[in-house]
Amino acid sequence: DAGITQSPRHKVTETGTPVTLRCHQTENHRYMYWYRQDPGHGLRLIHYSYGVKDTDKGEVSDGYSVSRSKTEDFLLTLESATSSQTSVYFCAISSSGGAGDTQYFGPGTRLTVL
Amino acid sequence: SQQGEEDPQALSIQEGENATMNCSYKTSINNLQWYRQNSGRGLVHLILIRSNEREKHSGRLRVTLDTSKKSSSLLITASRAADTASYFCATDASGSRLTFGEGTQLTVNP
């Protein structure tokens, strides 16, 4: 998985609790992305980062925040988890972020919110 | 709504047959990419075709792009059981942000 790890790989939590997912890369790529994957919706972009402390919203950012204090780490936080946030979350990286740049994906985190 | 939409949603074929998947998109693009996802895994990049290209090959993969129809197709020739996976097209109309379709689930029966 191109030097990308995600932790945890599986998590079950309760509605209203905060949750943080971590993406770690060893490729020194500038761009990092968080997606969620749900049946019938494919992959949808939550947030992305184009450098340390530089982030922007994606298509489905409500209820999520991100932080990137180091090149290698990109954190996704659900401040107060809801059942609608039950999903599989994927982190991806790319080197330049330009048109035509390939994205490399992590193994995913399966999150269940009860 | 998704920029890219794959068709069919599911495809089941026998080993050795060819598999064709289609992708349609809505807005002008710079490039179109195809990714594969094995069950329980992350996506893996297969091939990229630029907007000024009409056809591209990579091993058993053949991708076509028709910008006038805003559509692309992915052909896998001589399919194998190991090709069983979901296949996604992704467009980059928004620069660094890829927009993925919902995918085609391909099953290759031995």
pLDDT in tens, B60-78: 999 999 999 999 999 999 9
| pLDDT value for B1 | 42
Burial of B30 by CB count in 10 Å (0-12 exposed, 13-18 middle, 19+ buried)?
Answer: middle
> What's the token pair of residue B36?
């594969």
A interface mutation test: which of B32, B58, B98 has the most A CBs within 10 A? B98
The neighbouring-strand residues paired with A109 are A89
pLDDT in tens, A8-17: 999 999 999 9
pLDDT in tens, A15-50: 999 999 999 999 999 999 999 999 877 899 999 999
A61 inside 8 A of chain B by CB: no
* Closest residue in B to A103 (Cα–Cα): B45
Which whole number is the average pLDDT over B29-37?
93
* Closest residue in A to B103 (Cα–Cα): A42
A53 inside 8 A of chain B by CB: no
3-state secondary structure chain B: CCCEEEECCEEEEECCCCEEEEEEECCCCCEEEEEEECCCCCEEEEEEEECCCCEEEECCEEEEEECCCCEEEEEECCCCHHHCEEEEEEEEEECCEEEECCCEEEEEEC
The percentage of residues in chain B with a pLDDT greater than 70, rounded to a whole number, is 94
Q: Do B2 and A1 touch (CB under 8 A)?
A: no
Residue of B40, B41, B48 with shortest CB distance to A100: B48
- Per DSSP, the three-state class of A83 is helix
Q: Do B43 and A97 touch (CB under 8 A)?
A: no
> What's the token pair of residue B99?
């927009």
A48 inside 8 A of chain B by CB: yes
Residues of B in contact with A106 (CB under 8 A): 42
Burial of B81 by CB count in 10 Å (0-12 exposed, 13-18 middle, 19+ buried)?
Answer: exposed
